[in-house]
Amino acid sequence: MEKRILMVETGGTIAAEMTEAGLAPGLRGTDLLAYVPQLRDLCRVDCLQVLSLDSTNMTPAHWLTVAKAIQERYGDYDGFVVCHGTDTMAYTAAALSYLIQDSPKPIVLTGGQKPIYTDTTDSKTNLLDAFTVACDGRIPGVTVVFGGSVILGTRARKTYSKSFGAFSSINYPALGVVRDGQLIPYLRPAAGEAPRFFDSLDPKVSLMKLIPGASPAQLSFLLKESHAVIIESFGVGGVPAGDGGEFYRIIRDNLALGKIIAVTTQVQNEGSDLAVYSVGHRLKSELGVLEAYDMTTEALTAKLMWALARTTQPNLLAKLLYTPVANDILCYSE
């Protein structure tokens, strides 16, 4: 039976045209399809234009728009392909993983490093590969299909700004590859019985990346502006004078006010373990700061927004954060 796939178009380089001020999305879903006519042999495709944005301009409100578009049409299709800019695709993939949980159908994000109209584009292959995964159905749930790799939505990160193999799977193996139009699955996440949709996020989450000599006042400012702050710290997790200095006091006082503070690491691979060094240990053992463990910063950001929309109670929020969703966190200890 011919599969029915919905292509959800949001913009990005894949759909970009050259303007006087550089590349900007302009092509519509039907224009993209015209560049890859083979897709029509693979499945029956409908196009839905929900946005036309450089993904730099995406916000959590746009993630909700995309999730809602899929929810409203979920029963009508066998799978979904979301065309998206690459710059924030990993954030959207993570957000969709929390907003649409246990999906038995594939929801595949893809895009391109070069616009689809160019001779040297990767967009056509990526689009074809994404449809291959969406039609195949053996890898359910939210994924990023890019440069021939199939990456879990909660584990994707853009690791190359120009190369075609732009995305990596962080702290988790790639789920498979697409070779010559065939999906070769390495891992198959368990398919849920039915999807669970969520329709709210709390966007008041900020991120502070530490540098040597970072100012504690910056953290105070972010905490004033936000319900949760992620501190992207060093190594397995260390904050300057996190064992009793200014950062420690700011964190302590803000936790007492009900703010959520989570520590992650700027090191891309292997995640955090705050308990190891004294610059992290007391933040966790005495203050109860949360940490990312092996979650990506993209996933942690989206998960905090999702969790904060469910509860503001710190204990319940910690429970939500540390409960795995779509294999986003594997190595944690409370």
Catalytic residues: 13
Closest CA to 150 of 125, 163, 168: 168
Shortest Å distance, C-beta 53 to ligand ASP: 7
Nearer to ligand ASP, 254 or 296 (CB): 296
Strands, E, within the chain: which ranges?
4-11, 16-19, 22-25, 44-53, 79-83, 100-101, 106-110, 141-146, 149-152, 156-158, 167-169, 176-179, 182-185, 196-197, 205-209, 228-233, 260-265, 290-291
Q: What percent of the chain is helix, strand and coil (3-state, nearest 5)?
A: 35, 25, 40
Q: Which residues, in sequence order, are bridge partners of residue 36?
A: none
Report the residue count for the chain.
Answer: 334
What is the smallest separation between the CB atom of 88 and ligand ASP, expressed in angstroms? Answer: 6
For ligand ASP, give the closer residue by CB, 13 or 254. Answer: 13
CA distance 266 to 272: 9
Residues that bind ligand ASP (CB under 6 A): 12-13, 54-56, 85-87, 111, 113
Nearer to ligand ASP, 19 or 56 (CB): 56
**Cα–Cα distance for residue pair 234/206, rounded to 1 Å:** 17
- In the bound state, the residue with its beta carbon closest to ligand ASP is 85
Dihedrals phi, psi of 145, to nearest 5 degrees: -115, 115
Nearer Cβ to ligand ASP (126/143): 126
Q: Shortest distance, CB of residue 196 to ligand ASP, whole angstroms?
A: 28
In terms of CB distance, is 54 or 273 closer to ligand ASP? 54
Q: Cβ neighbours of residue 120 under 8 Å, at least 6 residues apart?
A: 114
Residues contacting 229, CB < 8 A, separation 6+: 205, 206, 207, 208, 219, 222, 223, 259, 260, 261, 262
**At closest approach, how far in Å is the CB of 14 from ligand ASP?**
6
DSSP state of 12: S
**Contact indicator for 159, 166 with CB cutoff of 8 Å:** yes
Residue number, 55 or 97, with CB nearest to ligand ASP? 55
